[in-house]
Chains A and B, each alone.
Chain A
Amino acid sequence: MVATHIVESEAPMLDKKLDVNDQDANNLAEAETTNVDPAKKSTKITSEDIDVYYGEKQALFGINLDILENSVTSLIGPSGCGKSTYLRCINRMNDVIDICRVSGTIKIDGNDIYDPALDVVELRARIGMVFQKPNPFPKSIYDNIAYGPRIHGLTESKDELDELVESSLVKAGLWKEVKDRLAGPGTGLSGGQQQRLCIARAIATKPEVILMDEPCSALDPIATATIEELIDELRQNYTIVIVTHSMQQAARVSQRTAFFHLGKVIEEGETTQIFTNPQNEKTQDYITGRFG
């Protein structure tokens, strides 16, 4: 059931680490000398040479991607390009797929999340996830939010839990709409409300990173706008990675964008730069709607 994390032989790995360190040092040196980048944000998640296989089929080819703290990074690309697969590597959601194998390293704050000593349950509490289709549990609104904190033992009293539920719902912009019916069913809400409930559920476990897999694809434009505003607010406190098929959405909500194609990162950088002045021809073609 657990995806094998292929540990490469010792020597090359050490080499690579050295390389990386060198690179980091170089980057730092560069950054210090040419410190013109207005986004002085530090890197939250680094990915090195991520390969993902579904059985025989390789889905991702050597992904190297840095995701900055307290910003929104959008992953765009045509269907089947591996954006969601990459997203699911970050909270090891691919572990639950039998035939899926992941190799390479993903580090969050410098800690390897595929470290065998790391508890995946704790990792997923630190990295919230919002899915394509709103998937509230068939429980009350309150229990939907309280479930995560309960299983992780985050709160020690009922009052504390009540507070956490309220603050999560407030942060997700849903409090005013549901405060009178917390005991009502979570699945009785509208699609957009359900998705915000799922965001609140993700926030409740006090994550640092929130992954969103096409969170608006099942929503109408108004609900989408609400969620987008919410994402913009959440950016203050969380690192957000969002997969989207909507170029406009990527342009609206994200500060950085990575373009995926056929399992590779073709181009990544500032969103404005990707959309106004793409360096790669394929990126250009995709964002102008010539394919994909």
Chain B
Amino acid sequence: MEAQEVQKNMSNDLSTHSAEVKRRMSKRLKKRQAAEKRFQFYGMAAIFTGMMFLVILFTTIISKGWPAFLQTSIQLNVNLAPEIVDPTGERNVDKLMQANYTKIARTALYAELGGKPKNRKTRKLMYKLLSRGVDVQIRDVVVADPSLIGKTVPIWLYAHGNVDALLKGAIDRNTENSSRLVKDQQLEWIDKLVASGKMVKQFNWGLFTHPASSQPETAGLGVALIGTFFMVIIVLLLAIPIGVAAALYLEEFAPKNRVTDIIEVNINNLAAVPSIVFGLLGLAVFINFMGLPRSGSIVGGLVLALMTLPTIIIATRAALRAVSPSIREGAYGVGASKMQTIFHHILPLAFPGIMTGTIIGIVQAVGETAPLLMIGMVAFVQDFPTTPMEPATALPVQIYMWATSAERGFVERTAGATMVLLAGLFVLNAAAVYLRRKYERKW
């Protein structure tokens, strides 16, 4: 009993660096090292999971979206017969616009495939190989160069969406003829055209230039790109000056009191307001009260500018605060006024931070859909807007609209448009990184 007590006392003797001390410390050390390893593992697991989802997302989008950048076209020798195109011979553009180009296209196709079928049903099957938008394609060629009238010119015309889907493998040849969108007879013609090199998948420039359309092969992002461009310009012009000025005032000039505290809290709150609320505000104030045109990108730009403001203000204030106070003191020390200190020293040093915050804000705004739905930018717009007052759509809204269409061609276009949007956002982000690197305090 006593011996045990002595033993215990001895083992509790921590006054010197005894074996017992070493043992306990190494035990604790092992625990600590294990904890650190575990923590690192959690971090890596989190990053890995994130990366995995990112990879899955990109693979699905790209695998679904890449066919959208290709479009099946048929090369036909189109005879621009004057009696159809311009029966009066006045070369009047308005008249030229109204000619029956569909007939010309069909005639050319019949000629290519060995004559006009007698059977009306067969004829229909044949001209169904062409997109319904081919008349516009021929019209554009004629209007661009009326001297072609009377000549026979080779023109690439869009194939029908179903033909396109077949060539891209979206329609299975082995399906029963009755339940297949492309019939056996059409398959024969298609094979013939492909064999002769008259039917080819080309890069789909139309995806970027065409306006809205009910046929996937003639639908494009043209109007959406212009709308998004206008909105970005409006956001840049409004949100940056107002946001930076507000941040400068709040950070440098405003007295610190209850009012500025409330303003600060509310700016932070605004940054967290759901974007659809900004859309409601835009609807109520800009459209109903101020009478700005519905669907116009001006309203979209204003709403997105409002939405971006808090982000820019917060980022700018953080950037201003991050400038070393010693620079401020140095400037005051040589007798610079407050304005001079801010504009000669603080702002240039805060510039990279401001730019980064601003671009992140704009990237956010560019990808925003909800507020634009509220102000009517979700519309079928076929005329290219030339001013922000005219109706337009935006990239994310166009994606949303295409996503609700059933045709195979729209499914791939949805993914394709998403790729375009993502690419745009990547470019903006890269610009942010570049600007930060470039203007970051080099010395």
Is B172 on the interface with A (CB-CB < 8 A)?
Answer: no
B255 at the interface (CB under 8 A from A): yes
The answer to whether A125 and B253 have CB atoms under 8 Å apart is no
A152 at the interface (CB under 8 A from B): yes
**CB-contact partner of B255 in A1, A91, A122, under 8 A:** A1
Please tell me if the beta carbons of A205 and B442 are within 8 angstroms of each other in the complex: no
Are B333 and A133 interface neighbours, CB within 8 A?
Answer: no
Please give the distance in Å from A192's CB to the nearest CB on chain B: 17
Q: Complex Cα distance A66/B328, Å?
A: 29
User: Which residues of chain A come closer than 8 Å to B253, judged between CB atoms?
Assistant: 1
Q: How far is the CA of A151 from the CA of B340 in the complex (A)?
A: 8
- Using A151-B340, A185-B442, A187-B443 as known contacts, say yes or no to A133 and B335 having CB atoms under 8 A apart: no
Name which residue of chain B comes closest to A201, CB basis: B334
CA distance A138 to B328 in the complex (A): 12
Q: Which chain B positions have C-beta within 8 A of A54?
A: none
B192 at the interface (CB under 8 A from A): no
Residues of B in contact (CB 8 Å), total 24
- B276 part of interface (Cβ distance < 8 Å): no
Q: Taking CB as reference atom, which chain B residue is nearest A148?
A: B334
Range, interface on chain A: 20 to 34
Q: How far is the CA of A128 from the CA of B335 in the complex (A)?
A: 8
> Is the C-beta of A53 less than 8 angstroms from some C-beta in chain B?
no
B4 beta carbon closer than 8 Å to chain A = no
Distance in Å: Cβ of B423 to nearest Cβ of chain A: 35
Chain A's closest residue to B324 (CB) is: A135
Within the complex, the shortest CB–CB distance from A222 to chain B, in Å, comes to 23
Give the complex CA separation of A187 and B349 in angstroms. Answer: 14
A221 CB, nearest partner CB in chain B, Å: 23
Assuming the A-B contacts A1-B255, A138-B443, are A122 and B335 also in contact, with contact meaning beta carbons closer than 8 angstroms in the complex? Answer: yes
Whether A133 lies near B334 (C-beta < 8 A) is no
Q: Which listed residue (B332, B340, B344) contacts A93, Cβ 8 A?
A: B332
A284 to B132, CA, bound (A): 102
Complex-state Cα separation, A98 to B331, whole angstroms: 18
A202 interface residue, CB < 8 Å from B? Answer: yes
* Docked CA distance A59–B180 (Å): 90
Closest chain-A Cβ to B258's Cβ sits at a distance in Å of 14
A135 and B255 in contact (CB under 8 A), knowing A185-B443, A205-B334?
Answer: no
B window 246-272: CB within 8 A of A? 253, 255-256
Q: Verify if B170 is at the interface (C-beta below 8 Å from A).
A: no
Q: Is A81 an interface residue (CB 8 A)?
A: no
**Given that A137-B345, A185-B442, A187-B443 are contacting pairs, would A124 and B327 also be in contact in the complex, using a CB cutoff of 8 Å?**
no
Tell me, yes or no, whether B281 is within 8 Å of chain A by CB. no
| B330 engages A205 (CB within 8 Å) | no
Return chain B residues, CB-CB under 8 Å to A129. Answer: 329, 333
Known: A1-B255, A138-B349, A138-B443. A148 touches B335 (CB 8 A): yes
Q: Which residues of chain B are near A98, meaning CB under 8 Å?
A: 255-256
- Complex contacts, A123 vs chain B, CB 8 Å: 335
Once the chains are docked, how many angstroms separate the CA of A1 from the CA of B251? Answer: 11
A136 at the interface (CB under 8 A from B): yes
A289 to chain B, nearest CB (A): 30
Residue B40 lies at the interface, judged by CB distance under 8 Å to chain A: no
Residue B326 is within 8 A (CB to CB) of chain A in the complex: yes
Any A CB within 8 A of the CB of B28: no
Select A124's contact among B326, B335, B441, B442, beta carbons within 8 Å.
B335
Indicate whether A198 reaches chain B with its CB closer than 8 angstroms.
Answer: yes
For the complex, is A286 an interface residue (Cβ under 8 Å from B)?
A: no
Bound: A117/B363 CA distance, A? 50
Q: Which of B327, B334, B442 contacts A125 (CB 8 A)?
A: B334
A135 lies within 8 A of B441 (CB): no
Q: Is B337 an interface residue (CB 8 A)?
A: yes
**CB of B328 to closest CB in A, whole Å:** 8
Q: How far is the CB of B251 from chain A (nearest CB, A)?
A: 12
Q: Please, which residues of chain A bring their CB within 8 A of the CB of B256?
A: 98
B residues 80-98 in Cβ contact with A at 8 Å:
none
* Chain A proximity mask over B406-443: 1 for CB below 8 Å, otherwise 0: 00000000000000000000000000000000000111
Q: How far is the CA of A75 from the CA of B336 in the complex (A)?
A: 26
Contact A91 B443, CB 8 Å, known A137-B327, A147-B344: no
**Is the beta-carbon distance between A128 and B330 smaller than 8 angstroms?**
no
Taking the complex as formed, is A96 at the interface, i.e. its CB lies under 8 A from any CB of chain B?
yes
A237 to chain B, nearest CB (A): 18
Report the Cα distance A137→B326, complex, angstroms. Answer: 9
B330 near A136 (CB under 8 angstroms)? yes
0/1 interface trace, chain A 185-224, chain B, CB 8 Å (1 if under): 1111000000000100110110000000000000000000
Is the Cβ of B330 less than 8 Å from the Cβ of A93? no
Among A93, A121, A187, chain B packs the most CB atoms within 10 A around the CB of A121
Q: Are A135 and B327 in contact (CB under 8 A)?
A: yes
Residues of chain B lying within 8 A (CB to CB) of residue A136 = 330
- Other-chain contact of A188, B324, B326, B329, B443 (Cβ < 8 Å): B443
Say whether, besides A1-B255, A185-B442, A137 and B337 are in contact (CB < 8 Å): no
- Whether A131 sits at the interface, judged by CB under 8 Å, is yes
Candidates A96, A135, A201, A205; contact of B326 at CB < 8 Å? A135
Contact in complex: A198, B332 (CB < 8 Å): no
If A138-B349, A185-B443 touch, whether A131 touches B326 (CB-CB below 8 Å) is: yes
- A98-B255, A131-B333, A135-B329 provided; 6 other pairs, C-beta below 8 A? A137-B327, A147-B331, A148-B335, A148-B336, A151-B335, A188-B443
Q: Top 4 nearest A-B pairs by Cβ distance?
A: A185-B443, A125-B335, A135-B326, A148-B334
B-to-A contact residues, CB < 8 Å: 253, 255-256, 324, 326-338, 340, 344-345, 349, 441-443
| 30 examples of A-B residue contacts, CB within 8 angstroms | A1-B253, A1-B255, A93-B332, A93-B333, A96-B328, A121-B337, A124-B332, A124-B334, A129-B329, A131-B330, A133-B326, A135-B324, A135-B330, A136-B330, A137-B327, A137-B345, A138-B327, A138-B349, A138-B441, A138-B443, A147-B331, A147-B336, A151-B335, A151-B336, A151-B344, A185-B443, A186-B443, A202-B334, A204-B334, A205-B335
